[in-house]
Structure 1
Amino acid sequence: MGVKNKLKEIRMKDYMMNQKEFCNMLKISQSTYSSIESNKIQGNIENILSIARALNRKVEEIWYLED
Structure 2
Amino acid sequence: MVRNKLKEIRMKEYLMAPGEFAKYIGTDIKNYSNWESGRSRPKLEIALQIAKKLNKTVEEIWFLE
Q: TM-score category by the smaller chain?
A: over 0.9
Show the 5 A alignment for 1:1-67. Answer: 2-66=1-65
Percent identity between the aligned chains? Answer: 48
- The one-letter code of the counterpart of 2:20 is E
- What are the ranges of 5 or more consecutive residues in structure 1 without an aligned counterpart? none
Say how many residue pairs are matched: 65
TM superposition score normalised by structure 2 = 0.94
Question: For 1:42 and 1:20, how far apart are their aligned partners in 2?
Answer: 17
Task: Tell me by how many angstroms 1:24 deviates.
Answer: 1.2
CA shift at 1:48, angstroms? 0.8
Secondary structure at the counterpart of residue 4 of structure 1 = strand
Aligned residue for 1:13, secondary structure, equals: helix
Distance 1:46 1:37 in 2: 17
AA aligned to 1:51 is I
Cα RMSD between the aligned structures? 0.8
Structure 2 unmatched runs, 5+: none
